[in-house]
Amino acid sequence: MTMTALRGIVIALMTTLVFASPIVSAESAVELDSIIHLSENDLSIKGIAENPQENKILIYGEGGYANIISSNNPDSQVLLAASDNQTMRDADWHPGGGTALLVGDEGMILRYAADDFSLTQAGEKMNFGQTNLKSVAWNTAGTWAYVGGDDGWLWRVRAEGDGGLETHLIEGRGEGDVTDIDCHDDVMLCVISSVTDGIGIIDRNHILTWIGGSFYPWNSVICPSNYYLSCVSVSSSQEIGIIQLHSTNAVESELSVSTVKGIDGQFTHLSHQDDARSLIVVAPFALLEHDVSKNATFPWLDNKDAQEFNIEISGERIIGTWGIGENSGWLITSRGTLIEYHSTEETSEIGVILGGVVGFLIPLTIGMLILTLVYTASPKLQYWMTMKFGNKQEKRDAKRKGTGKR
């Protein structure tokens, strides 16, 4: 084997290694599968809320529509009888998982009880001046819930012993609609998003502090993991805001904003997928993954793939998602269509194959490179290799040069 042959092998191996390296593309990381229709009619669903045990999904929408389904088996459902036919805009489960609050138009606030599937009035509409309520979230301890509405109105509420509702207005509120509220699972801090006033932090003493971002129309916020003191917000103009919480002094919490390029559509909502990962709902029908631990955004479900799956469903609007595994779960549309998603088989198989090939080629290439260097530095080894594996002409040339003389 000559020097030229050795070099040829090394170059071939390195070229193969380069072409075998995985390339990140904008194709979907998941594929759509099973379809369930909650009704033949358009239900005009507004949102969903997953219970802390992650086994039940509360669905709510227009005309007092509410439904409880199993997160793992959405065919199992219980239609709830609401005591009010107003449109419900948001819901949040108590940390204990036994009840949930739902809020909606004209100051409507309802309480759902999981033990008997009842849905009843939690307070008088006049408690909120018949404001259209858009967001609700229980604090970390479950002692108070925060309720936000049109024109920046913001309250803290809790049940009274007589079945009524104790309400207190939060001072320092903004003027734009409070679009969303979420509370961290570990520290006593809650984050609010506003369409005009930016991002606000509510501390354990119910003091509201605005930390910036008033230039962006924020429409959703989520604190995905108790392992990270970070929350995520998105705007309808494709900004992602990372809120770095300060555990002891809310005023020192910080907001950093970045714009995602190359995405067609509007960011409408955030849903939790798994651990530190959330899904950004994009209109029209698409999803992005955001990992707060990496502060990175990745393709998840592309609109073109959704159209290829079902052109009619791809024209519907995604309202929310919930995960049932690391890369699997369900999404729900405003019409009431449930679609299962999971990792593409192609992605997982390619990943395994490429991992094995690259894992084999790297040490092989390094070994061949070392052998080439040793061969180059040793005339005796060159002579021995030529006499052992060379052709007649190469052997005559080696003898003529006297390479093998001692």
Any idea which of 54-63, 212-221, 359-368 has the lowest mean pLDDT?
Answer: 359-368
pLDDT in tens, 1-42: 554 454 444 444 443 333 333 323 358 999 999 999 999 999
What is the predicted pLDDT for the residue at 384? 61
- pLDDT of residue 349 exceeding 50, the answer is no
Which pLDDT score is estimated for 303?
95
Does the pLDDT of residue 367 top 60, yes or no? no
DSSP letter (8 states) at residue 361: H
Q: Is the pLDDT of residue 158 over 90?
A: yes
**DSSP per-residue letters across 287-353:** EEEEETTTTEEEEEE-HHHHHHH-TTGGGS-EEEEEESSSS-EEEEETTSEEEEEEE-HHHHHHHHH
Where does the pLDDT of residue 96 fall: very low under 50, low under 70, confident under 90, or very high at 90 and above?
very high
What average pLDDT does the structure give for the chain? Answer: 85
pLDDT, one tens digit per residue, over 292-318 is 999 999 999 999 999 999 999 999 999
Cβ atoms of 250 and 203 within 8 Å: the answer is: yes
Of 210 and 372, more confident: 210
pLDDT at 123: 84
pLDDT of residue 402: 56
Taking 80 as the threshold, does the pLDDT of residue 91 lie above it?
A: yes
Q: What is the pTM assigned to this prediction? A: 0.79
DSSP 3-state of 246: coil
The alpha carbons of the chain give a radius of gyration, in whole angstroms, of: 30
Banded pLDDT at 357 (limits 50, 70, 90): very low
pLDDT of residue 333 exceeding 50, the answer is yes
Least confident of 115-124, 151-160, 237-246: 115-124
Q: For 203-228, what is each residue's pLDDT tens digit?
A: 999 999 999 999 999 999 999 998 99
> Which domains, from first to last, does the chain contain?
3-22+352-401 (no CATH), 43-343 (2.130.10.10)
- Average pLDDT of 222-245? 96
- Report the range of poorest mean pLDDT among 108-117, 127-136, 148-157, 366-375: 366-375
Q: How confident is the model at residue 288 (pLDDT cuts 50, 70, 90)?
A: very high
**What is the mean predicted confidence (pLDDT) over 239-255?**
96
Query: What CA–CA distance (Å, rounded) separates 309 from 307?
Result: 5
Please give the pLDDT value at position 406: 38
In the chain, what percentage of residues exceed pLDDT 70? 78
pLDDT value, residue 355: 34
pLDDT band at 178 (very low <50, low <70, confident <90, very high): very high
pLDDT of residue 365: 47
- 198-228 per-residue burial string, b: 16 or more CB within 10 A, e: under 16: bbbbbbbebebbbbbbeebbbbbbbbbbeeb
